[in-house]
Structure 1
Amino acid sequence: MAVRPEGTPVWADAMFKDVELAKTFYGDVLGWTFGESSSEFGDYTQAYRNGKAVAAVVPPMPGDDGQGQSAWCLYFASPDAAATAEKVRAAGGTVLMEPMQVGDFGSMCLAQDPTGAVFGVWQAGRHEGFELEGETGSYIWAEVFTREPAKADAFYATVFGFRSKKMQDPDMDYRVFDLGGDPLLGRMEMTAEDFPPEVPSYIQVYFAVDNCDKAVEAAERLNGRKVFGPMDSPFGRFAAILDPQGAAFAVIDVRTTVGEMPEMV
């Protein structure tokens, strides 16, 4: 697999107090199977779709009481995690976990943008990232949700070299980031009308599904909660969900589209 350009989303994982519950939930909603947990790396457990790695789940680290909010974390590619961590600091972000080597799999760090959204940085070794993406049951898209869009735009442009285009929609402030090629990441302004003040900035990860409505039904059957949708759009029929342990994610059926694509400038 070719090395992904710096700033490309390459991996997603989430920490769960009850890993077995998470495996049951995502196994049913997204059709995932799971490998053996790696005790050497904190029982990190990879998820697979059709035998290809798509994400991972992990229990809280030793000393963590597990009371923190479960959340999906998106990782961006970096040729040098330590150098990227310095760029995060210089751009006004915060390094939450210093760069560390993860065996021969690669190196990682965790960071937070100046508006509060948490993300990861991954310098690939033997583990290069998603083995499947853009297909049913795998990662397909992500969006930064923030109340300070200008600050977020400047941060990601500085750290990863993103260029951006604004969607021509008078009802929302939405941008798409790229590195000169295909779109890589969206950025949505969180408005007071749609987001309670206690909801922090975050990055929402989207997984592809064959049928959005059935995915929502499966999630609710397993004590997940629909937050938004299902809703039709030119990009696909999508919905936002909270899993039983509070981790937010979205599902989208990109084959069911309604309306014309908006202009981006």
Structure 2
Amino acid sequence: MAVQPEGTPCWADAMFSDLEGAKSFYGEVLGWTFGESSAEYGNYTQAYADGKAVAAVVPPMPGQEGQSQWCLYLASPDAAAAAERIRAGGGEVLMDPMRVGDFGTMCLAREPGGAVFGVWQGGVHEGFEATAVPGAYCWAEVCTREPELTDPFLASVFPYTVQQIEDDSVDFRTFSLRDRPVLGRMRMPGDVPPEVPSYVNVYFTVADCDEAVARATKLGAALRFGPMTSPFGRMAALTDPQGANFSVIDVTTTEGETPSSTEL
């Protein structure tokens, strides 16, 4: 796998108090299988779709128990330099760059709008082994209450070009690398409860959105939005039984024209 351009989403993981429950849920909904837990790295457990590494689940470290959430990692050839840009741009470094054996170097941060994300400097583990196929990562959006803080921050930390989607019903921007959109930013709607913090919404690919939603809700997930067919696919937003938000999308079922955008 070629090294991804800096700022490319390259990995996703989540902490779950009930690790076996998470494995059972995502195994049923996304078809994941799981590798052996690594006791040396806090029982970090990789998930696989058709034999390809696509994500990981891990129990919380002591003192970090709380609501589960997915964390998206953005690629960087130099995590320490990225951490400095995060601080300079008004973000907060939650965990200084830390080498994880020969796998790579990770850093955790919070952007000024409140969403937590990671930076990954790949070693032998470069990130996703598959994307945009059933069970694998497809897309992500930073859902923020303060886009006026989030937008300039993202553009200052990573070499993105920015496009504003021309749609009066939603405030949405895309961030691109080499003319390819890699990340979205959505202003959180006003009807979202105030206790819900800004977060990164990770989309996983499924073969059939409605079937995935049916499986998820039967297993205790809450349906927050959809299913709805868009120019990008048929999608739905869910909250898993342990409180982690995520979305599913069937990219083969599309409807409507791709909205136009303005370069900023």
TM-score, scaled to structure 1: 0.97
The reply to whether residue 72 of structure 1 matches residue 32 of structure 2 is no
**What secondary structure does 1:238 align onto?**
strand
Q: Which runs of 4+ in 1 moved over 2 A?
A: 63-66
Q: Structure 1 residues 258 and 247 mapped into 2: Cα distance closer, same or farther (>3 Å)?
A: same
Matches within 5 A, 1:131-170: 131-170=129-168
Deviation (angstroms), 1:181: 2.3
Which residue is equivalent to 1:128?
126
Which of the residues 220, 223, 227 maps onto 1:223? 220
Deviation (angstroms), 1:41: 0.3
Deviation (angstroms), 1:163: 1.0
Which of the residues 68, 80, 94 maps onto 2:92? 94
User: Matches of 1:212 and 1:232 in 2, distance apart?
Assistant: 9
Which of the residues 182, 196, 200 maps onto 1:199? 196
Deviation (angstroms), 1:212: 0.5
What number of residue pairs does the alignment pair up?
262
Matches within 5 A, 1:183-194: 183-193=181-191
Which residue is equivalent to 2:23?
23
The reply to whether residue 261 of structure 1 matches residue 237 of structure 2 is no
Q: Which amino acid counterpart does residue 224 of structure 2 have in structure 1?
A: V
Unaligned runs of 5+ in 2: none
Q: Which amino acid counterpart does residue 58 of structure 2 have in structure 1?
A: V
TM-score, scaled to structure 2: 0.98
Which residue is equivalent to 2:169?
171
The reply to whether residue 115 of structure 1 matches residue 123 of structure 2 is no
User: Matches of 1:6 and 1:260 in 2, distance apart?
Assistant: 30
CA-based RMSD:
0.8
Matches within 5 A, 1:4-83: 4-61=4-61, 63-64=62-63, 66=65, 68-83=66-81
User: Matches of 1:220 and 1:237 in 2, distance apart?
Assistant: 17
Which of the residues 179, 182, 186 maps onto 2:180? 182
The reply to whether residue 251 of structure 1 matches residue 248 of structure 2 is yes
Deviation (angstroms), 1:154: 0.2
User: Matches of 1:159 and 1:246 in 2, distance apart?
Assistant: 29
Deviation (angstroms), 1:254: 1.0
User: Matches of 2:91 and 2:67 in 1, distance apart?
Assistant: 21
User: Matches of 2:189 and 2:96 in 1, distance apart?
Assistant: 32
Q: Which amino acid counterpart does residue 178 of structure 1 have in structure 2?
A: S
User: Matches of 1:131 and 1:198 in 2, distance apart?
Assistant: 35
User: Matches of 1:247 and 1:82 in 2, distance apart?
Assistant: 28
Deviation (angstroms), 1:65: 6.0
Q: Which amino acid counterpart does residue 64 of structure 1 have in structure 2?
A: G
Larger mean Cα displacement after TM superposition, 83-92 or 147-156: 147-156
